[in-house]
Amino acid sequence: MKVVVKTFGAAFSVAVIPVLRDNYTYVIHDQATNAVAAVDVSADTAPVLDYVQRLSKSTKKGDAGEVRFSTILSTHRHVDHTGGNIALLKKLGSSGTFNIIGGVNDNIPGVTQTVREGDRVSLGALQVEVLDVPCHTRGHVLYKVYHPKSVGDGVALFTGDTLFVGGIGAFFEGDAALMCRAMRKVYDLHQGASDREAAEHRIFVFPGHEYTVNFLEFTRAAIPPTHPDAAFIASQLERYKESVAQCTPTVPSSLAEEKRQNLFLRTCDTSFVREMRHGDTAEALMQYLYDTCP
């Protein structure tokens, strides 16, 4: 698949780098300071090295100085998300301070700084907020990245193996109740925004894998054909299929899109739970969806 870059105004960019069979590593570039971070680094570091080196050559230094690779953010400990941490540090780590950051309850290779819910980390001029979402692993975290003075430029949410486009990750170390709590944190991420609907369109989800088409096929089959979002979901599925056919990543998606096309995230909506008729609670619907999703 191709490398694509999502820009967030003049504040920062996120490169979507396909690695291994269906994983993604992400490279965040703060435009103001040229600080660079990688998210979820597998042992397949060559595409990441290539991108960072090309970024360094093409970036105008100006007042921001040289491109500085300073941070690795690991969402969870699984080897396809952390297997390249130490190797990438050795190859790209600057002479200054270098951090490998991960959840306090996961054993992240090479970790130099453990984080938990509510912690904030700086990446140049960018802010990185941490959310605890134990379930896939007991120490899984999400990273919410934005420029504090340019929130209108958008928010990048790195979700690892908790939330995918149209789906969720396996309950390896949790259950439906824990996943429901994780989904609630994502669902309410726009809380505090003056215009919540607009905020949902500016929050972008960057998951750990390219599983989109499979999840959307499940969604199309599971949602009643008379549901108001059925046509939207069918259209999205065709769009995603076309992206895959062109070797283009389907990520990121917006929170607004996920609130329509991700049945697991929609367990946060009590009216949707009733419509689906698979139990009276979010946990019951979550378990049903999890058990029936191929």
Catalytic machinery residues? 76, 78, 80-81, 136, 161, 209
Helices vs strands, H then E, count in the chain: 10, 15
| Phi, psi dihedrals of residue 118, rounded to the nearest 5° | 95, -15
Q: 254: which strand partners?
A: 204
Pairing of strands 203-207, 35-39: unpaired
**Neighbouring-strand partners of residue 164:** 167
Is residue 257 within 8 A of residue 236, CB to CB? The reply is yes
CA distance 286 to 184: 12
**What is the number of other CB atoms lying within 10 angstroms of the CB of residue 210?**
22
- Radius of gyration, CA atoms only, the chain: 19
Q: Are 6 and 153 in contact (CB under 8 A)?
A: no
DSSP state of 127: E
Work out whether strand 167-168 and strand 163-164 pair parallel, antiparallel, or are unpaired: antiparallel
